[in-house]
Structure 1
Amino acid sequence: MRHLRPLLEKIFPVLAILLLGCLLYANSLRTPFQFDDKEFIVDNPAIRNLNNFEGIWKVLSQPSRFVGLYTFALNYHFHHYDVLGYHAVNLAIHGGTAVLVWVFTRLILGLWPPGNTGKKEAPLPQKKNIIALTAALLYVAHPVQTQAVTYITQRFESLATLFYLAALCCYIKGRLLTSRAGKGLKGFIFFLSAALLAVLGMFTKEVVMTLPLTVLLFEIYFLNEAGKEKRRGSWRGIGFGIILLFILIVPALFSFDPAVLLSPRVSESHDGEMITLDRYFLTQFRVLAVFLRLFIFPAGQNLDYDFPLSQSLFEPTTFFSFLGVVGVLSLALIMKSKDKLISFGLLWFFLTLSVGFVPRSHIIFEHKLYLASVGLCVALAWGLARCLKDTRLFAVVTGVLLILLSFLTIQRNKVWRSEIVLWQDVVQKSPHKSRGYLNLGIAYLDQGQYDLALKYLQKSAALHPRRAKVYNNIGNVYSRMNKFDLAILEYNKALALDRSNLRIYSNRGYAYLLLKQYPQALADFNQAIALKPSHAEQAYNNRGNVYDKLEKYDLALADYNQAIARNPLFAKAYNNRGCIYLVKKQYQRALDDFRRALELDPDYGITYNNRGSIYRELGQYDLALADMNKAIHLNPGHAEAYLNRGLVYNKIKEFGRALADLDKASELMPQDPRVFFHRGVTHVWQKAYESAIGDFSNALTFDPDLAVAYYNRSLTYRILGDTQRALEDALKAESLGYNVDRAYLDKLRKSTGYY
């Protein structure tokens, strides 16, 4: 068993870390797509093809997120829009990162001598494994990590951290191996691995740019003792080379433009503010203070902080944050001679967050702590071990701390369980910021709660009157409520603020479509497509709907093909293309499209109704009834399904059921001539001729050119013996293009004496 002990000492910690991570994040695996997930995953056509390297590379203006985006493409390839696959990958990354925290801590603690203290006392080597495991468990359990793990898009942050730590560990192993005789080749392999991992990290998120400086810091603290003069030249040379490499990589890979650094930009962290370099710099001291507070006391977490810019160093919050940050930084530097590991952990925090001093629109996001907290977790685990020499006391204290952190993580993940709950949390904590109300309104809109959606969207508009997205979504609410004139007014407001947004044109075009204002609809869809053809699947689909209404079926078919080419999972486009094939009587193609639409969206009742119509045409009435029953089950207010099921019942001569369905259809579509016409036919079958004439007349009230209604009313009048009216209706039907039997007309003329 002794020979297994070293193996078990490595396997057990890894299993413990992974198990704890799975337990804490199990309740997040079905969390829906949130916030920027819509932009980077749901509405991102670039990730729908694994071979679309160029498209993925160009999603953002600079390629610093390519690797992360490609992992989304892999997720899409295997899981499409099933969030479980995306969350499983994020959780695996979190587990892997925590394991690397354990490896990293073990590597540091294995570097005795030199000791991490300035004293001669033993640096607790017997607790090396326990300290490393504690650091990793603290890391995996801390609730401040939830935003980088549960929020799918922030895989950018977690994956970059994984590469960061892996590269650093490989570098350390390489340095240790090259100092031993005969290990130069292995050391070179580790160095090469570190370089490759660093490059992957740099193309995942730009935070990895701090890696060379972290390597230099590690060299100074742990790999080069001040007393060993012969090594000073070597590590200084290494440090100079690293910094030079860092200076070259930034402009080469990311097209660094100093003008961008100095240019003012709109703040996304506080409505109505413009970011300038000096104000942004001052504000970052408050950000660092918040991050330190969140690590020590993780309460009041918030996805979207309302964080105004600092106007002066001498504002109370800015000044005291500055003093606090400078104090902690000074403490870290002072402690180098007393406790290197705690000093290193604190400096890690500041160094990895130093990229935050480069101005950007979002001043603060909690996921930025994901990398920075590594140093704090290592320092905390070491500090607890230093203070609590008794192993049992150490176990009790760390156990209680882990239980508390785990509880907070589980509770925080509950906030992410739905868009409504998440944005309710945001507006509670940022009540004066418009974006929370905007996204809460969108969440209610998606749930069909239109009154609440309107309430919060209007609140957002009041707080930020110049946000086009707000008016666009107010328009969407009115559109869902069938108030299309009001919707168009809101879309006009949105376009007055932003004429580059294809979605606004597409949405306004859809409102025009439903108002049967087809020229205006076509103009908007054309504009949407011209703005960004690669993202215009919705506009292509809706333009196809216009062409369908105009009976330009070939043009409609071409547009539906374009929509499907851009989004192969677009259920509505398959359904609509199937309808064109149905009109063209290409029934097998129509069935194939309806089948695909239902595979993608099994609850899409319209498609069941459409497929049922094909089965009715093919005389497969049992299949037709099954599909129409399903359509009505999914949507009891589906008028078309009642109409079509009534037609099937007519075909199989179940006239009582047919009449019940057509009555229901007339309640739901009180001005639809088709309903009255087919109910009139049913009355004829039941020999209720007066009722039939009433329904045919109602049909003609709503469509005076419905020739078939004139013809059937003519037949009914003839049955009732009113040949004069029968002749008048037959002649009217003929004048409208209906092919009236000549023998029938001759009989009517003869009966009336009309020649």
Structure 2
Amino acid sequence: MTRSAPGPRRWPPPAGAAALVLAVIAAYTGALAGPFQFDDWWSIVDNPSVHSLSGWWQALPGIRPLLKLVNTLNWLATPHASGFRVVAIVLHATNALLLWALLRRWLPVLAPRSPRPAFAAFAVALLFALHPAATEVVTYASGRSLLLSTTCMLAMLLAMPGPHTAAHTAPNAGAKPRRGSGVLAAAWFAAALAVRETAVVAPLAWLLLARCGGLGWRQALRPLAASAGVLAVAAIALAATPGYHVFFARSLEARPPGEQLLGQLEAHAWLLSAPLPGRVLDIDPDLQVPAALAARHLLLLAGLAGTTAIAWWQRRQRPWIGFALAWYLLMLAPANSLLPRFDLGNDRHLYPALAGPLLLPALMLAALRLRAAAALLAILALAAGLRTGQRNHDYRSELALWQATITTSPGKARAWTNLGIARREAGDDDGAAAAWRCALALDPDYRQAAWNLATLAPRSAAVDPGCPQQR
């Protein structure tokens, strides 16, 4: 499978890069005033291994060492939540730029019938930069692992040879990648794995990009030689790290395979709604393993089968369809497939996967006249940016975040428990007790709520009036 391609794509123009960066700053400036949230306290604020380089070193060997090193350096520079958010905003803007550069290089061959692939590449990057589903990764400090691993994975893909190496070349022969590209890509791959183990899919992402972009198997596999060595070393390190043994043991104990498959059908039915307008964001969604297959699951499977059939039928004329679908599934596979995890799904896991679904509106816009396309893109970007700003407003305090969460997950005991903690920190003991009583009404065995309630002597014995059990 070989397509004629233009010469190497140049890096994005400065004016467009500045526009992307300014868009990210405008959407996320409001997040700077918010405090640390939820898991940030045990993973960063109260974690001595993050507070000094010696503490970080003494905690080795452990999982995600590069992520912890970056958090340590961030803490040493400034221990305030605003400092962590500044770094996250910089990383998010960097990811938008890297994604733009990657698509500028590859969209001419992934979408050979598009009249404006460069415009489509910018549209994907801009919508990715402003999409409200990214707020959990950028604004929530504990979501940084996906943010930073995405940076490393995109850098790895950019270090690989471009589609121009396949131009006028027979499959499995001809043009060689630029010298050292495979080694540089392997270094970025190693960094990604040291941030988050789910980055193991990065070489598969390259194979997907290369094959959909017209490179033969030999051309696609050749630059992965050094990355294969990194993968082997990483496997040995994983086997020798006790933290990973505990991690995988707890994961496998979460639920049996049958329940896991049903649970992931439920999770993907929820996750697939994320790119849609008006989708409600939720830091702690109330997703439960269904008792049996439901109509929405059958609809999801039918849609997946239909899209796969269309992608196969259009694999030569519109390879971007298969790429978009496979990219989405591949990026979600480590956290949302066979390996169980406590939560069925979270907004933050969508972060690297968003680029796939966003190709559809971007290429639809690129098919219009330029003025109309630019105007519609501006409207979409403004709507997404305003929604992102609104969501960031929920992070202005722990109380605000968990109050917003129980409006979307009113039946989840953990959300009510965290709301109670936030109320107690704000000095509202009666409100805290009422929230914990609601958590126990929803789940009588929820120990954290019971322990918290036992520490208080509230004046009122009421249950929060917003509790579903009170209706």
Amino acid paired to 1:416? Y
Q: Which residue of 2 aligns with 1:555?
A: none
1:105 aligns with 2:103: yes
The answer to which of 299-308 and 244-253 deviates more is: 244-253
Q: Distance in 2 between matches of 1:426 and 1:279?
A: 26
Q: Which residue of 2 aligns with 1:196?
A: 187
Amino acid paired to 1:222? G
Q: Which residue of 2 aligns with 1:529?
A: none
Is the contact between residue 182 and residue 226 of structure 2 (CA under 8 Å) also seen in structure 1? no
Q: Which residue of 2 aligns with 1:220?
A: 211
Displacement of 1:335 in angstroms is: 2.9
Is the contact between residue 190 and residue 230 of structure 2 (CA under 8 Å) also seen in structure 1? no
Q: Distance in 1 between matches of 2:249 and 2:304?
A: 23
1:354 aligns with 2:342: no
User: Aligned ranges for residues 600-619 of structure 1 at < 5 Å?
Assistant: none
Q: TM-score, normalised by structure 2?
A: 0.85
Q: Which residue of 2 aligns with 1:278?
A: 258
Q: Distance in 1 between matches of 2:327 and 2:182?
A: 21
CA radius of gyration, larger in: 1
Q: Which residue of 2 aligns with 1:329?
A: 308
Q: Which residue of 1 aligns with 2:363?
A: 382
Distance 1:49 1:165, change over 3 A: same
Is the contact between residue 49 and residue 58 of structure 2 (CA under 8 Å) also seen in structure 1? yes
Is the contact between residue 105 and residue 378 of structure 1 (CA under 8 Å) also seen in structure 2? no
Q: Distance in 2 between matches of 1:475 and 1:142?
A: 42
Q: Which residue of 2 aligns with 1:745?
A: none
Q: Which residue of 2 aligns with 1:132?
A: 121
Q: Which residue of 2 aligns with 1:265?
A: 253
3-state SS, counterpart of residue 157 of structure 2: helix
Q: Distance in 1 between matches of 2:76 and 2:197?
A: 26
CA offsets, 1:56-114, max 9 Å, x none? Answer: 435xxx52x2212211111211112x111110000001000000111011111355xxx
Match for residue 253 of structure 1 among 237, 246, 271: 237
1:370 aligns with 2:351: yes
Q: Distance in 2 between matches of 1:335 and 1:292?
A: 22
Q: Which residue of 1 aligns with 2:273?
A: 293
Distance 1:192 1:8, change over 3 A: closer
Q: Distance in 2 between matches of 1:380 and 1:239?
A: 32
User: Aligned ranges for residues 299-310 of structure 1 at < 5 Å?
Assistant: 299-310=279-290
Amino acid paired to 1:265? E
Is the contact between residue 93 and residue 162 of structure 1 (CA under 8 Å) also seen in structure 2? yes
Amino acid paired to 2:95? T
Q: TM-score, normalised by structure 1?
A: 0.54
Amino acid paired to 1:138? L
3-state SS, counterpart of residue 300 of structure 1: coil
User: Aligned ranges for residues 38-117 of structure 1 at < 5 Å?
Assistant: 38-57=41-60, 63=63, 65-80=64-79, 82-109=80-107, 111=109, 116-117=111-112
Q: Distance in 2 between matches of 1:446 and 1:343?
A: 49
Q: Distance in 1 between matches of 2:434 and 2:167?
A: 66
Displacement of 1:258 in angstroms is: 12
Q: Which residue of 2 aligns with 1:678?
A: none
CA offsets, 1:635-692, max 9 Å, x none? Answer: xxxxxxxxxxxxxxxxxxxxxxxxxxxxxxxxxxxxxxxxxxxxxxxxxxxxxxxxxx
Q: Which residue of 2 aligns with 1:400?
A: 379
Amino acid paired to 2:410? P
1:156 aligns with 2:145: yes
User: Aligned ranges for residues 418-457 of structure 1 at < 5 Å?
Assistant: 418-457=397-436
Q: Distance in 1 between matches of 2:252 and 2:433?
A: 33
Amino acid paired to 1:413? N
Displacement of 1:20 in angstroms is: 0.3
Gaps of 5+ in 1: 1-5, 225-230, 267-274, 483-755
Is the contact between residue 262 and residue 276 of structure 1 (CA under 8 Å) also seen in structure 2? no
Q: Distance in 2 between matches of 1:246 and 1:321?
A: 36
Q: Which residue of 2 aligns with 1:595?
A: none
Distance 1:249 1:261, change over 3 A: farther
Displacement of 1:324 in angstroms is: 2.7
Root-mean-square deviation (Å)? 3.2
Higher relative CO (Cα under 8 Å, sequence separation at least 6) belongs to 2
Is the contact between residue 267 and residue 345 of structure 2 (CA under 8 Å) also seen in structure 1? yes
Number of matched pairs = 442
Q: Distance in 2 between matches of 1:469 and 1:160?
A: 32
Structure (1/2) with the larger helix percentage: 1
Q: Which residue of 1 aligns with 2:5?
A: none
CA offsets, 1:595-648, max 9 Å, x none? Answer: xxxxxxxxxxxxxxxxxxxxxxxxxxxxxxxxxxxxxxxxxxxxxxxxxxxxxx
Q: Distance in 1 between matches of 2:76 and 2:210?
A: 42
Match for residue 205 of structure 1 among 183, 196, 202: 196
Is the contact between residue 307 and residue 363 of structure 1 (CA under 8 Å) also seen in structure 2? yes
Distance 1:448 1:347, change over 3 A: same
3-state SS, counterpart of residue 98 of structure 2: helix
Match for residue 131 of structure 2 among 142, 146, 149: 142
Is the contact between residue 174 and residue 191 of structure 1 (CA under 8 Å) also seen in structure 2? no
Q: Distance in 2 between matches of 1:238 and 1:281?
A: 35
3-state SS, counterpart of residue 304 of structure 1: coil
Distance 1:316 1:253, change over 3 A: farther
CA offsets, 1:162-182, max 9 Å, x none? Answer: 1111111111359849999xx
Distance 1:304 1:341, change over 3 A: same
Q: Distance in 2 between matches of 1:190 and 1:177?
A: 16
3-state SS, counterpart of residue 336 of structure 1: coil
Q: Which residue of 1 aligns with 2:466?
A: none
3-state SS, counterpart of residue 410 of structure 2: coil
Is the contact between residue 67 and residue 203 of structure 1 (CA under 8 Å) also seen in structure 2? yes
Amino acid paired to 1:375? G
Gaps of 5+ in 2: 1-8, 170-174, 460-471
Displacement of 1:301 in angstroms is: 1.3
Displacement of 1:330 in angstroms is: 3.4
Distance 1:170 1:205, change over 3 A: same
3-state SS, counterpart of residue 195 of structure 2: coil
CA offsets, 1:214-245, max 9 Å, x none? Answer: 11112211142xxxxxx55x247549969966
CA offsets, 1:570-595, max 9 Å, x none? Answer: xxxxxxxxxxxxxxxxxxxxxxxxxx
Displacement of 1:25 in angstroms is: 0.3
Distance 1:91 1:9, change over 3 A: closer
Distance 1:250 1:307, change over 3 A: farther
Distance 1:253 1:283, change over 3 A: same
Q: Distance in 2 between matches of 1:474 and 1:367?
A: 31
Is the contact between residue 352 and residue 371 of structure 1 (CA under 8 Å) also seen in structure 2? yes
Displacement of 1:378 in angstroms is: 3.5
Is the contact between residue 24 and residue 141 of structure 1 (CA under 8 Å) also seen in structure 2? yes
